Amino acid sequence: MAAVVDVDSHVYEPPEIWDRYVPEQFRALARSAFYHEVDDEGNRLTIVNGAPGAELNRSRLVRQAIWRPGMTVDDVGALDPDQYVPINPGAYDPAARVADMDAMGVDLAVVFPTLFNEYLPLVENPEAAAALAHGYNDWIWDFAAQTQGRVHPVAILPMHSVLLARRELDRVAEKGFTSVVIRPAFYTTSTIEGHSQRDQMARAMADAMRQGLGGAEWSPRHFVETAPFRDVWRHVDELGLVACVHPSLGITGPDAISSGAFAERVSHRLGVPHTIAEPIAHMQDADLFVTSALFHGLLEDFPTLRLAIVHAGTSWVPLALEKSETYLWLSPQFATAFVCLEPEEVWERQPLIVSFDSWEESVGIMPDRLGDKAAWGSRYPNHDASGPVEAREMLEANGVDAAMADRLLGGNAADLFRLQVPVG
């Protein structure tokens, strides 16, 4: 059996990042812009922009770091929501992490932030965001260094400023990172007005839509795939890094940042006692990113850019390609770049993967359609995590052959990330 690569796992960021890793001169600023801590009884402190921040959880359970190898969904469901369950040490301690990976049967894990992915886009001060990213990146680098090459660290970028994002890109590439995470969200960022045909058309279209569809003013945020950020994507490509597009639940900010907030807000009227954004938010943000990239020509502009789209499942991909194709053909006024009207061709030739979940049966039913670009991810230590055994069983139950299962459980990811997989 080939090596297993978990392409979507997480840490739960400890206070040590703020106390030791954020550059000293920025610590007070950074802590005021965003800070999070949980005490031994589950009491939480979350600060965003100098004020109490919204929480990801409503009960005492910290569901983003609760799962441990061997737990079933029923085990998690049986936990008392009024009783604090300590955070899984594997979420912040390298030795515990490796032990959990051994227990799961995972040879190598690509590791993403949890809190920083959720909260960093909310930070208003670009310099504080850059200091926070710097702190996280140095901490996860040291974390990975203590795992005998089993953890592949991914650096986060301060997308609040193209200048600062590029500067951090250079720094982490120099340090040795080969992957960065970019959340598909809207960021407040400084912009430079372009004068190319494409820029002029994009502005004209935006004005036409804003006026023609009801006239509301938009908040000064820009989607991370659009023109203001083009230099960041270019630089990721130039440096030869993998761009990991990782959505977050997105329920702690306003609607205009990412998809989860709208669902969460309107569901309050129905009185649902827990988040309802979870089954859809990540998928919707991934839809938005891919559709935006196809309409704006990101993949055609950077055909060597390596992309990993994670934590959103992969079932949405064929529909995203099909919908993009339909409206690229039917709505020429939106094609503000010379873009291919057959997105499937663009998709197929781009070096990219999309993570899938163990319970995502469509991958097993349609391996010919999804298998070349799919790569398994655990979501460890989120409460909905699963192990590779469950994924392999699902694939086998649907008749996927062993060679394809090996590709899905590790091979595709190892190729994209160019991983040297240690086989235990």
Partner 1 sequence: MDRLTKSYPVFDCDAHINDPEQIWDYVPESQKELVRNTYWRGDAEAWLNGDTPVMGGGNAHFPGYNPICIAGPQMNKKIMRKLNSMPLTAEQKAYVHHDGAIDARARLGEMDLMGIDQVLVIPTMVIMHVPFATNAEGVDAFCQAYNNFVADWCSEEPSRIFAAAFLPAQDAGYTAKEIHRAAELGLPVGLIRPIDAQAKYPNAAAPSMMANGEYDQVFRAFEETGMVLGMHTFPAPNYPHPLGRDYLASPGELFNRAGIDSQTFSFVHEMQVWLSQVLLSGLLDRYPNLKMAVFESNAEWLPYTLKTCDRLFKLYARERGSKGDRLPSEAFHEQCVISFESDETGVFRQWKQFQRIGIWASDAYHHDGADSWSAMRNMTECGVPDDVQADLLGGNARRFYGIEGKLFVTDEAPPIDRPDWFPQGPALDEWAEIVAHPREHAEQMREMGLDPMSLLEDTSGVAAGKGLA
**Token pair of 208 as six digits:** 């036409």
**Which CB sits closer to partner 1, 100 or 360?**
360
CB of 99 to partner 1, least distance (A): 24
CB of 386 to partner 1, least distance (A): 9
**Which CB sits closer to partner 1, 104 or 122?**
122
Nearest alpha carbon to residue 299 among 263, 265, 349: 349
Q: Taken in order 216, 55, 51, 270, is the CA torsion positive or negative?
A: positive
Helices 126-145 and 94-104, packing angle to 10 deg? 60
CB of 161 to partner 1, least distance (A): 19
**Which CB sits closer to partner 1, 272 or 423?**
272
CB of 148 to partner 1, least distance (A): 32
CB of 70 to partner 1, least distance (A): 16
Pairing type for strands 186-187 and 222-223 reads antiparallel
**Which CB sits closer to partner 1, 148 or 326?**
326
The edge-to-edge listing of strands for the beta sheet with 306-309 is 155-156, 179-182, 242-245, 306-309, 352-356, 374-376
Helices within 331-380 (DSSP H only): 343-349, 361-365, 367-370
Nearest alpha carbon to residue 42 among 79, 81, 85: 85
CB of 36 to partner 1, least distance (A): 21
CB of 404 to partner 1, least distance (A): 16
**Token pair of 145 as six digits:** 């260094």
CB of 251 to partner 1, least distance (A): 12
**Which CB sits closer to partner 1, 117 or 315?**
315
Paired strand residues for 9: 111
Distances from the Cα of 314 to the Cα of 224, 256, 280, 320, 336, angstroms = 21, 24, 12, 10, 27
**Which CB sits closer to partner 1, 72 or 146?**
72
| Ranges assigned E (strand) in 116-233 | 151-153, 155-156, 179-182, 186-187, 222-223
CB of 307 to partner 1, least distance (A): 17
Q: Assess contact for 411 and 401: CB atoms under 8 A.
A: no
CB of 311 to partner 1, least distance (A): 12
Helices within 81-148 (DSSP H only): 94-104, 115-119, 126-145
CB atoms near residue 95 (< 10 Å): 11
**Which CB sits closer to partner 1, 37 or 80?**
80
**Which CB sits closer to partner 1, 174 or 268?**
268
**Which CB sits closer to partner 1, 37 or 322?**
322
d(CA 347, CA 108): 26
**Which CB sits closer to partner 1, 179 or 362?**
362
Q: Assess contact for 168 and 137: CB atoms under 8 A.
A: yes
d(CA 206, CA 134): 34
Collapse the DSSP code of 177 into the 3-class scheme (helix H, G, I; strand E, B; otherwise coil) and give the result: coil
Nearest alpha carbon to residue 148 among 94, 214, 189: 94
